[in-house]
Every structure is written in C-alpha cells, then in structure tokens.
Amino acid sequence: MFETLSLTAPDAIISLIKLAAADTNPDKIDLGVGIYQNEMGATPVMTSVKKAEKLWAAEETSKKYIGIHGNPQFNQLFAELMFGKNSAAMTSGRLAMAQSAGGSGALRLGGELIKLANSKARIWVSTPTWANHQPLLGSTGLEIKPYPYYNKETQDIEFDAMCTTLRADAVAGDVVLLHGCCHNPTGADLNKEQWGVVAEILPEKNLVPFVDLAYAGLGDGLEEDAYGLRLLADKCPELILAASCSKNFGLYRERTGLVCALAKTPKDAELCHGQIGLTMRKMISMPPDHGAALVAKILNTPELRLEWMTELEDMRQRMSGLRTTLADALSVQGAQQMARALAAQKGMFSLLPISPEQVLKLRSEHSVYLLNSGRINIAGARDETIDRLSNCILAVL
C-alpha cells in the first residue's frame, strides 16, 4: 500500500536549520528559525512557566480526559486576555471557545467551523502570508483567495489595493484572515487608522473577520497588539479568533492555543460551541492539557502573571532594540528605506527586499542564514553581530 505514496519535498525551514547547524563558521548568524531566541541563541522555558509547572505538578491529581473543549478556566482567562475582561465579547454570552492544539489547531478548527456554516465561503489571505495558512485552511476544502498586502520592493503595506480587492472581489459570507499583530512574514502591521477602515469594510460587505493572533505581546505590548481584534469584535457581528500560546508563553511543543467564535446571538454561540466540540472529537477527540493548565495557573496567580508579563516584555524589548540597532547600522551605510521599514515593523519577522540569489550569497559567502523569501527572524541576531549583519546585507545588495 505505502509504495503508492509520493515523496514529500524536504521542508525548506528544516533544511535551512540543518544547513545552519552544520556551518562551522564561529561568526555565523542564523535568522531562519521561526521561534524566539535569547541573546545566547537559546529558547529556554520561561521562569513563570517553570514555577507554574512546579505548582501544577503538586496539585494535579488525575490525568483523566479533559473534555472536548479543553480546560474551561484556560479558555476563559486566555480569551479575557485577548478580548479584554469586560468587553462585550466576554460578557454578552456570544462567545464560543475551545482549547486547541496550538494556533495551528485553532486555525484548522476555525476553518472547519466556517466550512460547516457556509461551504461556499472563500477565505481571503494576505499576500504574502505564513506558509502554513494555505495548507491548514485549504485542507478544509474551502477556496483560499489572495488579497494584496505587502510590496516587498517598497517595503510598504499595499493598503489601497487590499481594500479595493476586498471591496470589489469578496462576496457576502466570505471570510478575511487578518494577522492580529506581528504579521508573518513581513512584520508590517496595520495602523489604527487602517484597522478602522477594515472594520468598516467587513461589516458593510458582510465579510467575517478571522483573526490570527499568534504573537500577542511581542509587537507593541499585550493591550496594543489586541487593538485590531478588539475593534473588529466591536464592529462586526461575527468573528473568529485563532490565538496561540506558543510564542508569548514559550510553550511551542505543548501545543496550546484557543479558538473562539463570536456569534450574533448567544443561541448562535451555542451552535458554534457544539460544532467546534464535534469537530474536535472527529479530529483528535480531546485537546492536550499540560500547556493550557500552565497558562491558566499563570493567569490566575497574580505573582506569576506579573512575572510572565515582565518576561514577555523583556522578549519584546530585546527584539525591538535589535530592530533599532540594525536599522541604525543600515541607515549609516545608506540603506535608508530598509532601515525605516525594519524599525517600523513589529515582532520577530521582517521581509528583506532581496532576491533568492542574494539570500544564497549571504549563506554561501557570509554564513548568514535566512529564508529564500528574504524573511529574517530578528531574534536570531545579537547586539555584537548587528554590524556584521548589516555589512553582509549591504554586500549582497
């Protein structure tokens, strides 16, 4: 039977990680991997998470199944963090929630819910977008359509083109996937005014926002990064959220996330709740527990919550500081446009205006590793490597 299978192409990011690991140049710079790294190049367990694990290990009395919607306390506390505790989304009874296997699981559950509610809906995604959006959402069978978002050469958001496409080509019932903050792969986020325009177009055209919030807290701060989500939740009658704890709690392998459906009425929310549960049952039966139990513990314990927020802010500031230092170095050497874009962009990623050939040159001649698309993870840099990085980028331009 298995001989009929076709060979899968090697994963580009995994291949890049292997290449970087095999490079013996002590000055190599690896900006390829999509996770946070500290100044030592490590991704340690957060101290607040370690403390929560200790408390949880002492308290946990059973490993019996958690239930198809996961840990209700996690769902409530994490949703409050995203939407705001006293928001209409949290208090109106219109929100259906379920724990998911990471942000990816939330995206897939959200996609399946859309398919069940309206199998003709198309999902509009930004060009470019995270490489896994198409496979995760496309495997529901729904049609995926692109809207213009970012011009790699000018390093600007193509906001007018985005709005024109959504206004002209999206039809009532379609869904628009929006990166809540720290757009992957560009780092280019909508500003408040632009969010305002999107929040007018969507309800006007009867389009449903699907917000992917995988980096909350790593752009401008927790409250600031939820701005777009909260505005859309206020202005649109329906909304889907896929949120992840992988980056902001450093819980990557624990697969911790949340899917929410904000419905028009509490009755509709109940329908969503039931269908999300049924979908979970069909896919994996029950979500994993450990990560969600830790997040619930942290958010529900004032000292741990404060410690976590401080750690998150440290990560955010480290990346923002690296962006400024790299921008300053590039600007001194005449690459002002790139400098301006890098400094203004948010979170881990930016998309450099360089070709795959230039990326290869950076790799083979300078031991600088980034994705062929030109995406860098700024967390892979360090203060002491920024000058070299800036020189290398300019050398291949």
Contact predicate 297/257, CB 8 Å: no
How far is Cα 375 from Cα 336, in angstroms, rounded to an integer?
A: 18
In the region spanning residues 80 to 139, those forming contacts with ligand PLP, defined by CB under 6 A, are: 102-104, 130
Residue among 172, 118, 123 at smallest CA distance from 146: 123
How far is Cα 13 from Cα 296, in angstroms, rounded to an integer?
A: 32
Is 346 annotated in the active site? no
Give least dist CB 35 to ligand PLP, A: 8
Residue among 214, 192, 343, 252 at smallest CA distance from 49: 252
How far is Cα 350 from Cα 258, in angstroms, rounded to an integer?
A: 26
The per-residue b/e assignment along 336-354, b for 16 or more CB within 10 angstroms, e otherwise, is eebbebbbbbbbbbbbbbb
| Comparison of 259 and 326: residue with beta carbon closer to ligand PLP | 259
Active-site residue, from 30, 51, 124, 130: 130
Query: Quick check: 34 binds ligand PLP (CB under 6 A)?
Result: yes
| Comparison of 135 and 266: residue with beta carbon closer to ligand PLP | 135
How far is Cα 283 from Cα 387, in angstroms, rounded to an integer?
A: 48
| Comparison of 48 and 244: residue with beta carbon closer to ligand PLP | 244
Applying CB under 6 A, the site for ligand PLP has a residue count of: 13
Query: Quick check: 257 binds ligand PLP (CB under 6 A)?
Result: yes
Cβ count within 10 A of residue 82:
23
Question: Tokens in use for 368?
Answer: 């600088």
Length of the chain: 397
In the region spanning residues 143 to 182, those forming contacts with ligand PLP, defined by CB under 6 A, are: 179
| Comparison of 77 and 103: residue with beta carbon closer to ligand PLP | 103
Is 247 annotated in the active site? yes
By beta carbon distance, the residue nearest ligand PLP is 102
User: What SS3 class is residue 203?
Assistant: helix
Question: Tokens in use for 48?
Answer: 């607040």
Is 212 annotated in the active site? yes
Question: Tokens in use for 363?
Answer: 């790799």
Give least dist CB 183 to ligand PLP, A: 8
Query: Quick check: 350 binds ligand PLP (CB under 6 A)?
Result: no
Query: Quick check: 225 binds ligand PLP (CB under 6 A)?
Result: no
Give least dist CB 391 to ligand PLP, A: 29
Please select the residue that binds ligand PLP; options are 37, 184, 279, 325, rule is CB under 6 A: 184
| Comparison of 75 and 184: residue with beta carbon closer to ligand PLP | 184
Positions that interact with ligand PLP (CB under 6 A): 34, 102-104, 130, 179, 184, 212, 214, 244, 246, 252, 257
| Positions marked active-site | 130, 212, 247
